[in-house]
Structure formats: structure tokens, C-alpha cells
Structure 1
Amino acid sequence: MARVNAALAASAIPPGSTVRLRRGRRHPGVIRPGAVGALRFESWGDEPEPPVVTAYKYVQSAACWTRAGDDLWSVDISAANVGRTHHGYVSPWTTEVGFLKVDSTFHGDRKTDVAALERDWQFRSRGSLVTVRCATNPSAGGRRVWLAVADPIVEVRSRLVIQDLAVIGTGRNAVQTTSASRTEGAVVRDCVIGEAGGALASDGVSRMGNGVQVWSGASGVLVSGNTIVDCWDSAMTIQGPGVSKGVSWSDVEFTGNTVERTMQTFEYWSTGGAERAGSSTCSVRGNRAYDAGSSWSAAIRPDKAGKGSHLLFYVDGVRPTLTVRGNVFSGAAHAYLYAHDGVPAGLTSDENTIALADSVRLQWQRAERLPEYRTWSAATGLERRSTFTSLP
């Protein structure tokens, strides 16, 4: 991936090119098409597993860790130590780690002070030093320790196609459109996306991490047929400030995706002034989402209340047209829908299948549970032709 990005920066890969990554291989790095855009990234070969593009670093042995105190171990993941203490992706701008993956278990209980590390697998990431509390060496007994570097894996630009890749292992968003320029005509299709999040936001307290994030200023974006898993926050989201010219989102479509082990299935927020009715559009159709609130972040995130929900809405400045139709939303820890400032003005949500335990709220800010779905639907105008099913 470093070779590919260097070639892109040197204009050695022209617009319209296809970059193929070999199946069954791990490709440490990120996809940065830059101003080139108009590229296709896909797989080749006959191995059963798709090519993995990842921002993980791998700590290869117990010898890579330095004792830092009683039950404390540190590893220096600076670029100078590649091949000595770790292998994997070297970001040009960050060594922040969002979470640890030990064998197949996620550990995201991050602290800002070493003194606060009280339980096994709590960690601190500061500079290039990652310090972990563990009764034994973190890599003892052949344990495989992966560190998720906080660098988005795919930066989507105009006319970019990402197809049949596994895009996993980052402390930030796995796939995101850029705020640097408008994104027009992009496709993310038939990929495995996730294992994302845990990085600190600009306030130094909040933490972040979505599967596919479409920032304002995007049009003609299709996210289709993907499997999105293990995200700190949402599997799919549109968000950002309204644009000063044009529309904020036009023809952004999430369709036919499968979502598991995330906190939310779909999120929306926007700031700024309302746009002309119907000008900004987004549809969420034919997706299948299971067990909202089952992310590895559920027990450790600072903002827990109500966040285990399939639909998550904050401020609605732009007032886009949002269509949520024909989806299966099954299981939720807290609610079907969370609406911090009320249901978005342009939301149409109907003809979905909604399966919840009887004790789970339909909307976090309201009292109705599944047995009262008719009352809730009449009060909100949502899901009037949807099918509601009780889960044990």
C-alpha cells in the first residue's frame, strides 16, 4: 500500500486505473487516492479470503514488550522500530492507538493515565508508547496482539470504487469521504468493513469510530452489499455541517448491507441552515442489522445511555430527506431509535421489520415499548406499515 500511495502521489497511476490486491494476503496500509480519484480498487486471485487492507500493527513476540512496573508492559511503536518491536502499518501522522485486539478479543478500555490502569488489558496510548496492564507479558503463550492505529483506512474521493476488499483494523473510521473536497460518484461494494474506533476526538474525552462515514458535500455515493462489523459507533452515517454552495448530500444510498456488533446501524446529524426541501437526500434500504449495542465499546464508552439503538439522530440543521425502508432491524440493547433533538424533519421510515424484546423502548426519549408500537407509531408518524416482532 505504501508503494501504491507513493505512485499515486507521483502521478504514476493515472485516473481510470484499476489497482488489484491479491486475495488471501494482508496489505498493511491505507488507500489515499488524493486528487487522482476515478480509481478502482479490487481483488485478484483464487484464495477464499479477500485481501485485507488494515491499519493494524502487530506485536510479534514477548521480547518486544518492556516491563514498565508491576503488571505493566510497554511497547514503542515508532516508525524507527518497525521490524524490531512490531510489523504493520506506519502512519505518517499518528501513533495513537484506539484499541487492542488480542487473538480475536477486542480490548478498548483506554485510560489517559498509567495510574488508572487497574485491570488486565486496560491501556494507555501516548506518543509512540502503548502501555498495557497484564498479569503476564501481553504476548506470552503465543497470544497475538494487534494495535489499531488511529488512521482512517479508506479515504473516498470522487469516482472511486472499492470492491471485494476487507477494510478492517483502525482506531478511527474504516471508510470515510473527505471534508477537503466534494465527493461525487463513489462506490463501496461487497467489502468487509469494521474493527474500527476508539480514537480520541478533538475534545480529548469523546471517542469515535464508524464503519462508513459520508461527510457533507457528497453526492452519488453507493454503499452496497457490505458486511459491517465491530464498530465503536455506527455502521453507516451521514454527518457534518451544511455546505455553503449546492446541497449537503445528494443521492447517498446505503443498500443491502449486513450489520453486526456495532452500537448503531445508521446515524445522522447536521449543523447549519435548512436547505430547500428535497434537495439533500439519503436512503437506507434493504439492509439487515442485528443486535444494536453489542459493540466491543458497549461497556466502556463514556456515553452509554440509549446509544445501543439502530437509528441515531442528533441535531437536524440541514433537514435532508431521509428514507429508511425495507430493512430488518433485529435486537437492540436500549431502543430502536434515539433522537436527541427529536425525529428529523425529513425522515420517512416505514415498511421495515423491527424485532425487539418487549422490554426495549421504541424510542429512547419516549416510554413506549414494543407492545405499545401502535401508540408510538401514531404519535411519531413512523413505521405505520412496518412489521413488529417480539424477541424472547
Structure 2
Amino acid sequence: MHDHNEPPRAARLRRRTVLSGGAAGLAAAALTVWTSPARAATAEYFVDSAAGDDTADGSRTRPWATTARVNQAIASGVVAAGSTVRFRRGRRFHGIIRPGSTRGLRFESWGDESEAPVITTYKYVQGERCWDAVGDGLWQVDLSAANIGRTHHGHVSTWTTEIGFLKVDGTMHGDRKASTSALTEDWQFTSIGPVVTVRCTENPSTDGRRVWLAVAEPILEGRSGTTVRDLALLGTGRNAVQTASSAVRTQGFTLASCIVGEAGGGFASDGVSRMGNGVQVWSGATDVLIGANTIIDCWDTAMTIQGPAVVSGPSWSNVEFNGNVSDRNMQTFEYWSSGDPDPGTVSTCAVRGTRASRAGSSWSARVRLDRSGKGSHALFYSDAVEARIAMRGNEFAGASDAYLYAKVRVPVGLTSDENAIRLAPTTRLHWQRSERIDQRAEWTAATGLERNSTFTVLA
């Protein structure tokens, strides 16, 4: 892959997970298809980070080179409602995708290369000369925009230089500290302003080793009428994909057949909590389909609906997670809500056809402070909005802590049944309760969940 240089294991994983996502039995007819607004244009634009030129016209023979050029063309109206933007397969694009208020856009791939195009916020440091030794096994790099091409390459955010984690030789290092005095082990780091300081017994880029730094900026913002297919959205210190805020409601968004992940580590507004979801659907969203994606290596959860109740109307409506593959995430599915919902409205969400494995085995498990019980497939905090959530026909295999975590209670509107649940004999079914898988009858009787599900003990 052009300008990629990732370890062979990661490359193999990408090819393998694409196949497993497609093998989820997700025929197009089985999906609920949300109808986008009538397309005002049918123009196609092409992007190629290797052979493109941002001064070109964006045609197939004269493609653009960067996501920045795409976003500028959308903002200026050159890429109009109903247009399709295609990224060249086998290429890496350092940047973000921002559809803005332009409805009916499609983002897809083109070319016959084997790997999907990668959209990423990674920066990378390549070369020992890029690091400054600052004593006692500490190394610094200045990620200021003025240093692009000198100390680092890759994505340059217009609003943050915060780094959520490092990736070196295929390993994600997320043990971020608040001060350099707290750096006591190799690959612990600080991200303070534009300066990243890393503890390492040798220069971090010794022998040509490439150090990737995940900028805390979402890769894709899902907006109304937007469809995204066959892209790899990998490498961010924040959420990989998120819909807009409650004030800017998302109506009709599809993410399908993508690879999503390597996400998280950036600080939330409280300066303590750290974020990083694969796909986050915020309150106010309607007619959202997240289907046939592979979601991996997230700090928090693969898929989530969350946020404050909206002032009027349902907080969520027709949000569907269908046929996705989740692996090496802290959780598979999460729901929480706060505030005062509009009385009499119904908020709906479905989780179907998921193939989830190894909940709790995220790279964050080694370093997060709120570790206890969080390695679960289903995670529930508060449920101010009594959403009707249906979880059916899923496969949940392996979890480090529990099948389900419910901080306050199991949501009133949750219906979870006809799933295949595979757990080790010592793993709890419900973190806040004592039952293990051999006590499933007692647990289902007490909670009303999984009455027709199958349970298998993992060796």
C-alpha cells in the first residue's frame, strides 16, 4: 500500500476482516435501506493520494490527491448534493471527511487494488533525526503545523494536536500520562500542546522504525443523506465515525462494508475520561444504517447510541446496526441517555446479525483507569430515554469480564433474545450480579433477557 509501511500482521488482518464482514450473511435484501433525498447531481469525483493533484479537476484521469481538497470542494459547492466521491483503493489518505450540510453525498472506492482505501488521522515520525533527546530516556517531537515535513508527516488538524495513542511495530501504546515526571516505562507518553514526549530506551525511530501518532479528531462525520461504503476508517485518537450533535440532527446516514477502528485515547471535556468509539450515533439521529462493517481495536465500544434527550420528537428513530463484525474492542454495543425526553415519543434501535468476539481485549484494557467490569459485549449506563432496543440474532463470543454491564439497571426498553452467547465458565453473565453461564436459567428468570438464546461454555 502506498505510504503505508504497516506490519504484515495488520495488513493480513485487514484483508481477513473484510472477508469475514462479507461472510456475515448480509444479503442486500436483508437490510433495511434508508432512502436518501432525491439526488440533485450525479457527478463523480476521484481521489488518488499517489497520482493525484489538488489543482486537477477531480476526474478519473485527473484525480485530486487529498481529503482536504474534497472537503474544500464540498464547502464551496463544487461537489454538490447527490455527487459521489471515490477514493483509490490501495492508498492511504491522511485527513478527515466532512460532508457538512450537503445532502445526498456518497463516499466510495475505485480501482482494482486488493485493499480498501484508508482514511486516517495518523501522523508519523520517520527518522531518528526527528526526535530531540531531552534526557533520562525521554524523547520529544514537536507536531506544530509549521513542522510538517520536518519532524513529522501525515494529518494536520486545524483544531488539535492532541494525540490519543502511539502505534509502533503493529502495537498500540495508549499509556498516556499528564506529566513527563510520570513516564517510567517504555512507550508511555505525554501529549501537551503540540509536543509529544515518549519514554524509550533508544531513539523511538531506531533502525527506520515508524512511529504513528493518532490525532484526536474524528475521521468521519455522518451527516444527513450521506452514504459511505468500502472505505477503511482507521487511526484516530477520538471516535472513528460519529453523527452530528443533537442540534444538527442526522436524518438518513448509511455506513456499509467499511473497516473501522484503531480509535481512542483522547481526553473528554472533563480532562480525565478518555474516549474512542468505532461508530457513535448521537441523539437526534433518525434512519441510520450501520451494516456489514468490521470494527476493531477501539478504546471503548464498537457501536453506540448515546447522548442527551432531544427537546422534541424521538431521541433516536430507526437506528439499525446490522451484520457487523466486532473484535478486540472493549465493548460491542453501548447505550446511555440523559435529560428529559419528549413525553409520548418512541426512540428505536436494533442490533442484529452481529458477530462479536473478545470483548475486553482492546489495547485500552492494559491502561484505562475505569477497567473494572467494562470488558463486556453490552454496556448500559443511564437510560433517561426509555429507548426500545432490540438485540436479536447476534453471536457474542468471549468477554474478559461479563456478557452485560448495567451500571444503574438493565434498560426498561431492552429486548435481547435469540442470540448465541459463548463465555468462559468463570465469566459473569451480568457484571452487577453473580451468575455464571451454568446459572443462566436463574439469570434469565431474574432479568427477563435471553429466554430463547443459546449458551455455550468456552474452554
Per-residue deviation, 1:286 = 0.5
Q: Which residue of 1 aligns with 2:283?
A: 216
Per-residue deviation, 1:239 = 0.1
Q: Which residue of 1 aligns with 2:267?
A: 200
Gaps of 5+ in 2: 1-66
CA distance in 2, matches of 1:231, 1:77: 24
Q: Which residue of 2 aligns with 1:94?
A: 160
Q: Which residue of 2 aligns with 1:305?
A: 372
Per-residue deviation, 1:359 = 0.3
Q: Which residue of 2 aligns with 1:385?
A: 452
Per-residue deviation, 1:6 = 1.1
Q: Which residue of 1 aligns with 2:91?
A: 25
Per-residue deviation, 1:35 = 1.2
Is the CA contact 1:275–1:319 (under 8 Å) kept in the aligned structure 2? no
Query: How do 1:47-66 residues align onto structure 2 when only pairs under 5 Å count?
Result: 47-66=113-132
Is the CA contact 1:278–1:321 (under 8 Å) kept in the aligned structure 2? no
- Work out the number of aligned pairs and report it: 392
2:317 aligned with 1:250: yes
Gaps of 5+ in 1: none
Query: How do 1:14-163 residues align onto structure 2 when only pairs under 5 Å count?
Result: 14-163=80-229
CA distance in 1, matches of 2:294, 2:170: 18
CA distance in 2, matches of 1:380, 1:207: 31
Per-residue deviation, 1:276 = 5.0
Is the CA contact 1:277–1:320 (under 8 Å) kept in the aligned structure 2? no
Q: Which residue of 2 aligns with 1:168?
A: 234
Cα displacement string for residues 290-345 of structure 1 (whole angstroms, at most 9, x for unaligned residues): 01000000010010010000000000001010000000000000000000010000
CA distance in 1, matches of 2:253, 2:444: 35
CA distance in 2, matches of 1:352, 1:184: 29
Cα displacement string for residues 60-104 of structure 1 (whole angstroms, at most 9, x for unaligned residues): 211110001111000011111111111111000000000000020
2:340 aligned with 1:273: yes
CA distance in 2, matches of 1:160, 1:48: 25
Per-residue deviation, 1:37 = 2.9
> Residue type matched to 1:75 in 2?
V
Is the CA contact 1:173–1:210 (under 8 Å) kept in the aligned structure 2? yes
Match of 2:429 among 329, 343, 362: 362
> Residue type matched to 1:308 in 2?
G
Q: Which residue of 2 aligns with 1:349?
A: 416
Task: Give the 3-state SS of the residue equivalent to 2:445 in structure 1.
Answer: helix
CA distance in 1, matches of 2:89, 2:341: 45
Per-residue deviation, 1:142 = 2.0
CA distance in 1, matches of 2:453, 2:340: 32
Whichever structure has more strand as a proportion of its residues is 1
> Residue type matched to 2:162 in 1?
E
Is the CA contact 1:200–1:208 (under 8 Å) kept in the aligned structure 2? yes
> Residue type matched to 2:80 in 1?
P
2:70 aligned with 1:4: yes
> Residue type matched to 2:141 in 1?
V
Q: Which residue of 2 aligns with 1:282?
A: 349
> Residue type matched to 1:225 in 2?
A
> Residue type matched to 2:430 in 1?
Q
The percentage of counterpart residues that share the same residue type is: 64
CA distance in 2, matches of 1:82, 1:272: 43
Cα displacement string for residues 109-155 of structure 1 (whole angstroms, at most 9, x for unaligned residues): 00010000000000000100000000000010221110000000000
> Residue type matched to 2:349 in 1?
C
2:331 aligned with 1:264: yes
CA distance in 2, matches of 1:185, 1:16: 13
CA distance in 2, matches of 1:49, 1:203: 38
Whichever structure has more helix as a proportion of its residues is 2
> Residue type matched to 1:14 in 2?
A
Task: Give the 3-state SS of the residue equivalent to 2:104 in structure 1.
Answer: coil
CA distance in 1, matches of 2:104, 2:278: 22
Of 66-75 and 267-276, more deviation after overlay is shown by 267-276
> Residue type matched to 1:167 in 2?
L
Per-residue deviation, 1:387 = 0.2
Per-residue deviation, 1:274 = 4.5
Q: Scaled by the length of structure 2, what TM-score is found?
A: 0.85
Task: Give the 3-state SS of the residue equivalent to 1:63 in structure 2.
Answer: helix
CA distance in 2, matches of 1:142, 1:275: 57
CA distance in 1, matches of 2:178, 2:331: 26
CA distance in 2, matches of 1:141, 1:261: 29
Task: Give the 3-state SS of the residue equivalent to 1:297 in structure 2.
Answer: helix
CA distance in 2, matches of 1:96, 1:198: 10
> Residue type matched to 1:101 in 2?
K
CA distance in 1, matches of 2:70, 2:103: 13
